[in-house]
Structures are given as C-alpha cells and as structure tokens.
C-alpha cells in the first residue's frame, strides 16, 4: 500500500534516535499498543542498520512500517536500503538521494524549509516534503502559509511537534507529523521506561485522532 494512504488514519511517524540495540521488541509492542503505524530509525544512531532490520522483524506482526531517517549521505542511503528500510526521510533537500530513492520506488520524504526547496524536493520525486525545523519558523502558521500555494504537495511537520500542538498542525494543513525526543527520549529508552514512553505517545496520538474527526 502507498505510504500516505497507509498512514491516512494515523498520519504520524515516530523518530528513534539513539535507541539501544536490543530494545526493538519493546518498542514495537509499545507502538502497537498506542496505535503508531510508522517508525524511523535515524542513521546516526549506533548500529542503525542492524536496528532497522531487527525492528522490522519485531514490527511485522503488528503491521507497523519501519524506515530510515537522517539520511544525509549516499552511504546512509545504501545502508538503509540494504537493511530493508520501507521509507526514507532526510533532513535536507539532497537531489541524488531523492532521485535514487524515488527511482527504486522507495517512499522518500526529504527535508525542506523554504518554498523554493519544497517545490524542488517535490519535483525531484518526493513522496511528501518534511518541513524542518517547522517550529523555528512559525509552526502551524507556517504550514498554513505553505498550504496556500502548495495545495498539491503533501507536507510533513517536524520539530517541536507534541500533544499540545499536534491538532493545530493537522488543522493547518499538515498531511503528516513526526516527533522524536519529546516522546522517544534517548534517556527513557536507555532506562527501558517504555511505560512512560507509551503514556506520552498515547497523549499525542489521541490529540491527532481528535483533530482528524
């Protein structure tokens, strides 16, 4: 199923940065219990490729898709694809990475900030465009402003997304949201405190569900 359609009823991607190796099963269980359908592992996490492979196996019974994030270099993309990443997310607009992923029919969500970068990323084959860091340039108001001229381009809001503002981003026109350390805290993951992570995740996803009604 096409990524955007798959995420239509829960358009959220959780970002795992610095998740410890061996935590994949607990992560998958927590995500499934809360209703999260997509997770990305950042490629600057230690053992990222191995974690992606293991997390894919752990998430398969729950129907959760697993991708790679912070894909900045060709080597990152190569490792992510070899590990079996179902989708690719980047922090910037890197032409060759977008073209390569799109050419292999792998969903690609590149990072962009300016209107020029948004259009460029989409023209190169982006599945959706990640507006990053959105909280630094107006948050939901910036998404709303972009939505005017770019009605045909799926937008993902990333940076500073939380339970308090998630609904605002949806109502402003964001097609997707992404969050990281505010919920998947490196400290909490290291401590194995998946109960607290699940509590925070539930609050955010409940806010998204309310906004989608």
The whole-number pLDDT of residue 56 equals 98
pTM, two decimals, is 0.97
Of 110, 166, 120, nearest to 143 by C-alpha is 166
Which tokens belong to 119?
């259009």
Q: Which two tokens stand for residue 16?
A: 């795992």
- Homologous superfamily, domain 12-212: Aldolase class I (3.20.20.70)
Report pLDDT for 98. Answer: 98
**Given 3-state DSSP classes, what are the helix, strand and coil percentages for the chain, each rounded to the nearest 5?**
50, 15, 35
Mean pLDDT, contiguous 10-residue spans, the chain (213 residues): 94 98 98 98 98 98 98 98 98 97 97 98 98 98 98 98 97 98 96 98 98 94
Q: Per residue in 139-152, is it b (16+ CB within 10 Å) or e — as a string? A: bbebbbebeeebee
Nearest to 40 by CA among 29, 26, 55, 50: 55
């Amino acid at each position: 199923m096409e990524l955007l359609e798959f995420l239509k009823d829960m358009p959220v991607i959780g970002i795992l940065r610095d998740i410890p190796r061996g935590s994949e099963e607990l992560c998958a269980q927590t995500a499934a219990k809360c209703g999260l359908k997509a997770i990305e592992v950042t490629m600057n996490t230690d053992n990222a490729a191995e974690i992606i492979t293991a997390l894919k196996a752990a998430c398969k019974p729950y129907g959760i898709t697993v991708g790679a994030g912070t894909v900045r270099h060709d080597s990152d993309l190569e490792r992510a694809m070899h590990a079996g990443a179902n989708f690719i997310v980047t922090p910037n607009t890197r032409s060759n990475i977008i073209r390569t992923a799109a050419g292999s029919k792998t969903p690609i969500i590149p990072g962009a900030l300016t209107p020029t970068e948004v259009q460029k990323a989409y023209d190169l084959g982006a599945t959706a465009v990640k507006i990053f860091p959105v909280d630094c340039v107006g948050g939901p108001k910036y998404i709303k402003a972009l939505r005017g001229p770019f009605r045909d381009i799926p937008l993902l809001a990333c940076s500073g997304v939380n339970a308090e503002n998630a609904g605002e981003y949806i109502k402003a026109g964001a097609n997707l949201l992404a969050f990281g350390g505010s919920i998947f805290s490196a400290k909490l993951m290291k401590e194995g405190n998946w109960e607290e992570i699940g509590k925070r995740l539930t609050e955010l996803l409940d806010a998204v569900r309310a906004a989608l009604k």
